[in-house]
Structure 1
Amino acid sequence: MVALPALPNVGAAVGRVLATAQNGLEVLRFGGLDTGTEPAPFSVVENEKMFRLRRYFPDTPTTGPQVVLVPPMMVSANVYDVTEHNGAASILHRAGITPWVIDFGSPDAEEGGMERTLADHVVAVSRAIDLIVEATGKDVHLAGYSQGGMFAYQAAAYRRSKSIASLITFGSPVDVLAALPLGLPANLVVPGAEILADKVFNRLWVPGWMARAGFQLVDPVKTARSRIDFLRKLHDRDALLPREDQRRFIEAEGWVAWSGPAVAELLRQFVVHNRMVSGGFVINGELVSLTEITCPVLAFLGDADDIGQPLAVRGILRAAPSASVFESRVPVGHFGLVVGSTAGAHTWPTTAEWVLWRSGLAERPPLVEEMPDTPDPHGSGVSLSSRITHGIGSLADASAGVSRDLLVMANTLQRSSRAVAQESVRTVPRLFRLGQIQSGTRISLGKLMSENCKRAPKQELFLFENRVLTHADVNTRIDNVVAGLVECGVRPGQHIGVLMDTRPSALVVVAALSRLGGVAVMLAADGDVREMLRLADSSVIVTDPGHLDQATRVCDRVLVLGGGSGDTRTIERADGSSVIDMEQIDPESVQMPSWYRPDPGLAGDLAFVLFTRGAGQLAPWPVTNHRFAQSAFGAASAAGLTVRDTVYCLPPLHHASGLLTTLGATVVGRSRIALSNGVDADTFTAEVDRYGITVVSYTWTMMRDIVRADGFRINQHNPIRLFMGSGMPVGLWDDVVASFPRARVLEFFATADGSAILANVSADKVGSMGQSLPETNPVEIAAYDLEDERLIIDDAGFVRRAEVAEPGLLLARNRQRFDTSATVLRDVFAPHDRWEVSGHLFVRDLADDLWFLGSLDSIIRTSDGPVYVPPVEQSLSRMPTTDQVVAYGVGEPGRQIAVAALTLRPNRKSDSLTVTQLRIALGELGSHQRPHLIHVVDEIPVSDAYRPVSAGFARRGLPHPGAKVWYRDSEGHYRRYTRSAAATLGWSAKAGAGGSVPAAAEN
């Protein structure tokens, strides 16, 4: 018997159709199905312009721990109460914890909402904490989802962790550029983010529907699949209801608008500059760093989170080194961290257990572990298998994951090619502009600062004493000072002395003189200021209140700037004639003369006068605008300075490293300039983190007071990538590199007239001056006869180029015939060439890198040959016992005795220095190029530019025999310098006063 096919169940099919139609009609009319659930009860306990503070379950006492939850800008505060039983508020309440929620509302419905900034949100979170602490008398646990977690981090840093028991974040990135959504490369995202911040979101805002669409576009396949599943199950109300509240929140109800300024600030500070991890972000004009966080941190990571990727979230471990950092991994994507069944089963119970543990009411949660200090093997932290396992395995997303993993595997090649490309983009335009400068080209410090202000007026420029000044702020101040200078009778071309500490007011004065067309004469407070004024033909000084007494002693007309309009030191001395308080001048009332034209300086015009000392004589160092531009553009290119750098300016402005290398290069690179109150280890470590320092400028032994200070400690994840300056001893160089292994040292050398600018760009040869910077004057080492003091001529009648390892004289070929104070020679190496003589000796190695041997007048001329000071000082500085060292000559030229004086490092005694150490340290020098005497001294004085000074030792003559003195014997070995040895050698301690030295002394 054949079985007949079963007839379709017409009634069931009709019922399914009717159920689909009924449920669909309800969705169309009301936006979703009625789940019958009710939100957790709450009351608004505070209603302020920026936020409303909700307290959930207001009828229960606040005897337990307090948690305040912060939503992201684009998500409704209801995200913490989407489902009745699995919502954050309900779960935390059941654990005996009082939940509070900050509700920012929807900016497009709030008064002034579309003008809100990122800082407004952070300050609002801080204000809410104060309100809760005031109401309950207890510290709070601060928690935030996604960008709300970023707000929580920033608010905790802003408050220095005050009244915060712990921090809890859910998918909140810190090192944003380490792992961008979908594995996008940072070098592509950053330029786009910068354009959006500066050109788009300063005019537009993001409506709620756009925020929703952007979130859904992160995973379009999953979004489409969810909607299809919803339609397929539309007939089965019971199957849909458990997830209906969550679906309605994601599809429609959960999104609010973003204000344009807040989005722009987010992009600028935390994407372009990545300041969450590097520090130095700005909240209401105050500099903030996550290193200020000291409370415990728990970060939830989603294994399949492509928005807050685990690698980016784990950046908190490096950004907050003073905090105890824990993590809890959840097998979900970004939204699943806080909403849904997994959040109800894992995230919120674990959060409750964490709060109770930190409050001393429970044991450590089993799903919480210390955050590892090792990179994730998957690169971003989201493996391909996690993406597939958790439903994000679409073709597009899988491709992104594979691409990211492949990028990590090829990391070295990618970094190299990216670095070359980025360096070309930064360097080529700068060097091209430098190469186009002619004598009549308008170029000056003032003009460069004007250009930067027009390009990005709201970008930060000066950081000082935890304050921030933008380009617009500084430009306005410069114009006001220009008006004040005009009112005081200053005219273009006039030489004006500047005697000021390195503070914003000093930089403004220098820029104002440039904008006016004046010449800034940079005065050193520890020098002969009266003689400097005479040499520079200057009769006016601009000073700060701290140097007012010194200025009035040497100058009859003093202009005082800084200290504010109420500085009593200035007011008491100001008489309106010899001493003028420029702070009392109203720039609005100054009638600018018809001759005034901003930034008139041409390349060939004199811009600054610095000073140098040679053979004991003070000499002016004139710097034209072209020389300034050469140094500024060259240094900026060599250092790779960009808008993302913050340069720590430690050198004084009267030193070339402060004026040219630091101020000039930073302005060219459009970087931020951080100024300090002093050079000491504690200030340095605090300001490096707070300001987000990436580049440190120095002079001579300046870093000694930092890296060799007792108990010096620095955050190993600090953002410093470069030290740049001049004169650093190689022993100190070694210590700096050891203390900052991720940074390099960029040593510059510039001749007094600025004709030659060298830099050790590769930084792979400690002590080398490198080569000339591109687009600056080419240099050559000419063979030089030291005995006859003349250049050596070859058979063709031209000057011979020095061979490898042969000492020679540095010459610079000036492409442009600007005015110069240097000796100029023609027909040197070829017909019709033109070279400027530097007066400095160098030796070149096989790679054409140059090594400094000193100036001609610094050579110690002994009877058996020259002793070069720099190699002696550099060699002795590398001994583990040496702190500082100077070398000098005593006696008459040609029969001088070479002496080295050194200090020992703290806690080192003189008997710790042995002849073996001396022999090893000086082993690379020929025996006759080593000092005759080496002695240990208690202190070596330094100038205010931190250059060790040897003049006092030379005036005192030879050191007396003793246990702290060693002499060089005839074989180049060192022995104790006793009275009997001194008598045998016949050296006279009075040789420094011009006394003769017996021939035996040279053995």
Structure 2
Amino acid sequence: MSTDDHPGDSGPLAKLGHAARTAANVVEYVRFGGLETGEEPSPFDIVMRTPLLSLRRYFGGADAASRTPVLLVPPLMLSADVWDVSPSTSAVALLHRVGLDPWVVDFGDPAAEPGGRQRNVTDHVLAVSDAITKVREVTGEDVHIGGYSQGGLFCYQAAALRRTDGVASIFALGSPMEPLSLPGVDLPEEVFAAISRFGIDVLSKTGLPGWAAANLFSWTSPVATAKQRVQYLTALGDREALMPRERQRRFLAGEGWITFPGPAIAEVMESMTNERFVRGGLVFDGRAVTLADITCPVLIFTGQYDAFAPPRAVRDVVKGLPFAQVWECSIPTGHFGLGVGSRANRETWPTVTRWIGWVGGEGERPANIVDARSVGVEHSAAPSVGAWRQVVNLSTAGALAAPGFAKGILDRVGGTVSDLASEAIDQVPRLMRLERVGPATTVSYGGLLAESHRRDPDAVCLLYRGHAYTREDIRREIDDLVLRLLHVGVRRGEHVGVLVSSGAVLLSSAAALSRIGAVAVLLRPDSDTATEIRLGRTRRVVVDAENLYAVDGTGVAVHLLGETSEDACGATELSAVDVDRVRVPGWYRPNPGRGRDLGFVVFGDSADGIRALPVTNSKWALSAYGAASAAALTEADTVYAANPLYHASGLLLATAAPVAAGARLALTDRFDPQRFWTDVRQYGATVVPYTWSMLSLLVAQPRRAEEEHHPVRLFVGSGMPVSLWHSVVDRYAPAKVLEFFAPVRTDAIIADVSGRKIGSVGRPLSGTARTELAAIDPITGQVRHDADGYVVRATQSAPGRLLVAADRGRPEWEDAPMRGVFGPHDAWIDTGEVFRADADGDLWPMGRVRDVVARGRIRPIQIEDALSSLPSVVMVVVVDVAASGPMVAAVWMADGATLDVARARTVLRELSAAAGEVTVVAVDDIPLTRWYRPDIAALRREIVSRLEGDNQSIHSVW
């Protein structure tokens, strides 16, 4: 009806009427928060009810059985009515109209549900999984699951938990993989992290009320929110214009928001902050879960104007889904508009409908979706170092550091502001503790575990065989074993052998012995057990059933861990001890170990046979703090330990560092290159320790889908050949290599912190023992002395014997230090290793003293490094085929590659005349020992055998 039909509409009466209507609407708005629309929600039945959810089935008529089921999951902060806000913006109504069977998960309002405020993410993920099972049971079909915002994350997690069983496809509307970042707020990383931690600590106890959640959502776009509210208030006189969007406005203004439980907030933020959604290592009900287990098709919706979940953060899910085909639909809308409103009606839900049909084999692929991988995903990289962050780091370091400590950091990282800024603030107190470790310091493996437990007993610390264990789980296991060991008579200072196959059992046994103050002698399976027992001064052994045979007849007391179905051979079964009746001796004090005390004994193989390698508590602690600091480990990291833990590198690098940093430790009992990336994804491994040439077995594997966007940021270990180092950093970029050298009988820890010099082991870490290079005769390797009998220091770039300063009042176990070396009162340990130092003071390994090629002044490692520069070389090992014969360089080429003979000749001739005498052969691979060192004896036999025959798999190129 036009105004011409009512000529009085613009007169005084019309204006009065308009004012009256406006006043009435204002009163209604003030009393009820909005205008009453009279709209009815869509009908539904409750098919399943549990303490955590009500499962709704909408429009459950007779024809529902013939429809494809779709399960919708809301985020925690919004009620389940988000899928049915009003008849004009109802997702369930639209899906029903196009022939689908809509189901909705309703978590209820945690503030109103019994125990609701204590719910965590695991509760909700398990509930979604139960809902999938129920829908599948009722309909007999796999289910298409979809979620909005965090509801999409629940869909990912539940599908991963189920390994996609029963899930036909996933669609997620604006589901970010990282925490909310408020627009316009650009704080330094450390400040923002501190504020976030404080906020999470508070919210984990209080939760987030619905009204606060509504305001948080509004703050992501404050200008637009204020503008909309002003427009609404000025239009209150026109009820008809407001009614179509009134239900949606009221829902967003407060009616749709519910309490976000505190424990769930803490868990969500921990997973997002530590990137566990894309890395892996999510934990539900004690199980380690990874999104990499999702294999069904995935469709993500991104809002081009979404400030709450920016497209980049939503798209990052691609990194965690190596085996799923991921598609993206980009819509010009904000966060809420992806699921509710006219834009969602026109684009989101029609796309979902076509998607479900296409996935089910009907119709064409929706024209408005693209391969998400083709859009491009940003690679994770270290944040840039801004001037403000440099100031924060420098001032913090200065305030916290002891005198001289800041200089030590500057010396270690080269003294540049940018390098110092890369040291996270978390490392400062750790490095301070490193400098304070001494002979009288109370420190031990058991003590450090107890300290981490006091900080956060509920934190996950161990991942093993697919299960996750908290610090409290580990504490209970260790304390239980302590009582059993005390019962059988283990005492402080006693050497107790540990011979087990399980890495987790070895750790708990070593920790229990450390808690008592005993010495854990880590015996190696399938070694000469009797010799190791003798060298380790062991009179009793803790053993598992698998290795029981190895200690039979050794004459020591044997204590069996676990149970055996066979004869225990006289062993005491620790499982039979009733811990409730154990009387704790009066002398027992937990974790009494001091730095000077022996904590462990490990074993190594040498030309002279098996040798015992003692590890004091101070050595263990220095390795713990040093490795954790050099690798910049934090609680966000997961260290994947595939090294044997009874090996020195496994003990010092794989176990010590995670405990010091509060990082997770993921264990595997043996290194399996075919399963490596599966484990890395499952556990979310970010740091991988290695030993010698271990990673050559990995590099030799074909490329796998899991390698793309893998979570590993650092490989850390010792002895990696240069050629392999190049292969690792090239293939697994942006991961880097951190090479360590830590002579076991010393307190020195040398590390290449910068990672920029491939082949270098770097410099001693601040706070560890001093080192010097002693000048040597280039042929004999003997140390050179001056006229007064003092040792001469090696000059720059010249080879020298590595000496490590020793505590004059504490000679190393079974190791007599050299005295009067550079002065009349000093004491040094000769490591027997030869290095050269460059102009920056970084050390470059040159092998052992005896490693000199016959008749020439050249070392095997120099030949190996030179040939490693050739393309496609995996590894080079120099061996002496016969005592007086020529040296042979065995070159292992990558699959399909051929050694460039001419180039190899040129490289060695340019190196030296002595190098020109070396014979070069190409081999199919290089055998390794169980410690992943090149097996020289086996390689020598193979070369001799093949050279004597005429085997085409090995060919001389000289």
TM-score (norm 2): 0.89
Q: How does 1:69-84 map to 2 (within 5 A)?
A: 69-84=72-87
Structure 1 residue 921, shift from structure 2 partner: 5.5
The equivalent residue for 2:436 is 436
The equivalent residue for 1:277 is 278
The equivalent residue for 1:266 is 268
3-state SS, counterpart of residue 345 of structure 1: helix
In the alignment, the residues of structure 2 paired with residue 535 and residue 412 of structure 1 have an alpha-carbon distance, to the nearest angstrom, of 51
In the alignment, the residues of structure 2 paired with residue 358 and residue 710 of structure 1 have an alpha-carbon distance, to the nearest angstrom, of 30
Structure 1 residue 877, shift from structure 2 partner: 5.5
The equivalent residue for 1:649 is 641
Structure 1 residue 800, shift from structure 2 partner: 2.3
Structure 1 residue 713, shift from structure 2 partner: 5.1
Q: Which AA in structure 2 matches 1:133?
A: R
The equivalent residue for 2:70 is 67
- Equivalent residues of 2:774, 2:783 under 8 A apart: yes
Matched, 1:735 2:738: no
Matched, 1:604 2:596: yes
- Equivalent residues of 2:693, 2:933 under 8 A apart: yes
The equivalent residue for 1:990 is none
The equivalent residue for 2:400 is none
The equivalent residue for 2:259 is 257
In the alignment, the residues of structure 1 paired with residue 48 and residue 712 of structure 2 have an alpha-carbon distance, to the nearest angstrom, of 43
Moved over 6 A (4+): 405-419, 906-909, 936-939, 953-960, 963-966
Q: Which AA in structure 2 matches 1:281?
A: L
Identify which of 901, 919, 943 aligns with 2:905: 919
Q: How does 1:665-684 map to 2 (within 5 A)?
A: 665-684=657-676
Q: Which AA in structure 2 matches 1:785?
A: D
- Farther off after superposition, 141-150 or 357-366: 357-366
3-state SS, counterpart of residue 426 of structure 2: helix
The equivalent residue for 1:480 is 480
Identify which of 121, 127, 130 aligns with 2:130: 127
Matched, 1:213 2:205: no
Structure 1 residue 18, shift from structure 2 partner: 0.9
- Farther off after superposition, 693-702 or 354-363: 354-363
The equivalent residue for 1:870 is 861
In the alignment, the residues of structure 1 paired with residue 945 and residue 602 of structure 2 have an alpha-carbon distance, to the nearest angstrom, of 34
Matched, 1:850 2:848: no
Structure 1 residue 45, shift from structure 2 partner: 1.5
Structure 1 residue 66, shift from structure 2 partner: 1.6
Change in Cα spacing, 1:954 to 1:370, as seen in structure 2 (3 Å) is closer
Matched, 1:155 2:158: yes
In the alignment, the residues of structure 2 paired with residue 222 and residue 26 of structure 1 have an alpha-carbon distance, to the nearest angstrom, of 24
Unaligned runs of 5+ in 1: 1-5, 381-404, 967-972, 977-1003
Q: Which AA in structure 2 matches 1:110?
A: E
Q: Which AA in structure 2 matches 1:793?
A: H
Q: How does 1:756-771 map to 2 (within 5 A)?
A: 756-771=748-763
- Equivalent residues of 2:303, 2:335 under 8 A apart: yes
In the alignment, the residues of structure 1 paired with residue 938 and residue 329 of structure 2 have an alpha-carbon distance, to the nearest angstrom, of 64
Identify which of 143, 147, 159 aligns with 2:146: 143
- Farther off after superposition, 475-484 or 949-958: 949-958
In the alignment, the residues of structure 1 paired with residue 824 and residue 269 of structure 2 have an alpha-carbon distance, to the nearest angstrom, of 57
Q: Which AA in structure 2 matches 1:585?
A: V
Structure 1 residues 838-890: Cα deviation after superposition (integer angstroms, max 9, x where no partner): 2211112223221212222x32463x345533334444566667666544457
- Farther off after superposition, 845-854 or 813-822: 813-822
The equivalent residue for 2:202 is 200
The equivalent residue for 2:350 is 349
- Equivalent residues of 1:853, 1:868 under 8 A apart: yes
Change in Cα spacing, 1:956 to 1:696, as seen in structure 2 (3 Å) is closer
Change in Cα spacing, 1:913 to 1:21, as seen in structure 2 (3 Å) is closer
Q: How does 1:982-997 map to 2 (within 5 A)?
A: none
Q: How does 1:91-240 map to 2 (within 5 A)?
A: 91-176=94-179, 187-197=190-200, 199-240=201-242
Change in Cα spacing, 1:328 to 1:571, as seen in structure 2 (3 Å) is same
- Farther off after superposition, 805-814 or 274-283: 805-814
Q: How does 1:499-578 map to 2 (within 5 A)?
A: 499-561=499-561, 565=562, 567=563, 570-574=564-568, 578=570
The equivalent residue for 1:458 is 458
The equivalent residue for 1:19 is 21
Q: How does 1:775-790 map to 2 (within 5 A)?
A: 775-785=767-777, 790=782
The equivalent residue for 2:411 is none
The equivalent residue for 1:398 is none
Structure 1 residues 371-430: Cα deviation after superposition (integer angstroms, max 9, x where no partner): 2545589x99xxxxxxxxxxxxxxxxxxxxxxxx99999999999988744514133211
- Equivalent residues of 1:706, 1:712 under 8 A apart: no
Structure 1 residue 940, shift from structure 2 partner: 5.5
Matched, 1:942 2:942: no
- Equivalent residues of 1:860, 1:869 under 8 A apart: yes
Q: Which AA in structure 2 matches 1:140?
A: V
The equivalent residue for 2:331 is 330
Q: Which AA in structure 1 matches 2:568?
A: A
In the alignment, the residues of structure 2 paired with residue 376 and residue 541 of structure 1 have an alpha-carbon distance, to the nearest angstrom, of 53
Identity, % of aligned positions: 39
In the alignment, the residues of structure 2 paired with residue 238 and residue 953 of structure 1 have an alpha-carbon distance, to the nearest angstrom, of 88
3-state SS, counterpart of residue 804 of structure 1: coil
The equivalent residue for 2:794 is 802
Q: Which AA in structure 2 matches 1:574?
A: A
Q: Which AA in structure 2 matches 1:587?
A: V
- Equivalent residues of 2:818, 2:827 under 8 A apart: yes
The equivalent residue for 1:391 is none
In the alignment, the residues of structure 2 paired with residue 411 and residue 455 of structure 1 have an alpha-carbon distance, to the nearest angstrom, of 27
- Equivalent residues of 2:326, 2:373 under 8 A apart: no
3-state SS, counterpart of residue 109 of structure 1: coil
- Equivalent residues of 2:877, 2:891 under 8 A apart: no
Identify which of 665, 677, 686 aligns with 1:685: 677
In the alignment, the residues of structure 2 paired with residue 49 and residue 975 of structure 1 have an alpha-carbon distance, to the nearest angstrom, of 74
- Equivalent residues of 1:730, 1:767 under 8 A apart: yes
Structure 1 residue 927, shift from structure 2 partner: 2.8
- Equivalent residues of 1:699, 1:726 under 8 A apart: yes
Change in Cα spacing, 1:550 to 1:9, as seen in structure 2 (3 Å) is same
Matched, 1:707 2:699: yes
Structure 1 residue 209, shift from structure 2 partner: 2.2
The equivalent residue for 1:582 is 574
Change in Cα spacing, 1:872 to 1:42, as seen in structure 2 (3 Å) is same
In the alignment, the residues of structure 2 paired with residue 206 and residue 59 of structure 1 have an alpha-carbon distance, to the nearest angstrom, of 38
- Equivalent residues of 1:42, 1:57 under 8 A apart: yes
In the alignment, the residues of structure 2 paired with residue 406 and residue 425 of structure 1 have an alpha-carbon distance, to the nearest angstrom, of 16
The equivalent residue for 1:828 is 821
Structure 1 residue 10, shift from structure 2 partner: 2.5
- Equivalent residues of 1:67, 1:141 under 8 A apart: yes
Structure 1 residue 913, shift from structure 2 partner: 5.3
Structure 1 residue 818, shift from structure 2 partner: 3.6
Structure 1 residue 321, shift from structure 2 partner: 2.1
Change in Cα spacing, 1:913 to 1:150, as seen in structure 2 (3 Å) is closer
In the alignment, the residues of structure 2 paired with residue 10 and residue 506 of structure 1 have an alpha-carbon distance, to the nearest angstrom, of 91
- Farther off after superposition, 600-609 or 548-557: 548-557
- Farther off after superposition, 871-880 or 809-818: 871-880
In the alignment, the residues of structure 1 paired with residue 540 and residue 226 of structure 2 have an alpha-carbon distance, to the nearest angstrom, of 75
- Farther off after superposition, 257-266 or 703-712: 703-712
- Equivalent residues of 2:773, 2:800 under 8 A apart: yes
- Equivalent residues of 1:679, 1:705 under 8 A apart: no
Structure 1 residue 517, shift from structure 2 partner: 0.5
In the alignment, the residues of structure 2 paired with residue 671 and residue 7 of structure 1 have an alpha-carbon distance, to the nearest angstrom, of 74
Structure 1 residue 38, shift from structure 2 partner: 1.5
Change in Cα spacing, 1:714 to 1:227, as seen in structure 2 (3 Å) is closer
Q: Which AA in structure 2 matches 1:327?
A: E
Change in Cα spacing, 1:252 to 1:881, as seen in structure 2 (3 Å) is closer
- Equivalent residues of 1:934, 1:965 under 8 A apart: no
In the alignment, the residues of structure 2 paired with residue 479 and residue 726 of structure 1 have an alpha-carbon distance, to the nearest angstrom, of 34
In the alignment, the residues of structure 2 paired with residue 914 and residue 224 of structure 1 have an alpha-carbon distance, to the nearest angstrom, of 70
- Equivalent residues of 1:693, 1:719 under 8 A apart: yes
Structure 1 residue 944, shift from structure 2 partner: 2.1
Instruction: State the superposition RMSD in angstroms.
Output: 3.3
Change in Cα spacing, 1:622 to 1:230, as seen in structure 2 (3 Å) is same
Change in Cα spacing, 1:923 to 1:725, as seen in structure 2 (3 Å) is farther
Structure 1 residue 646, shift from structure 2 partner: 0.5
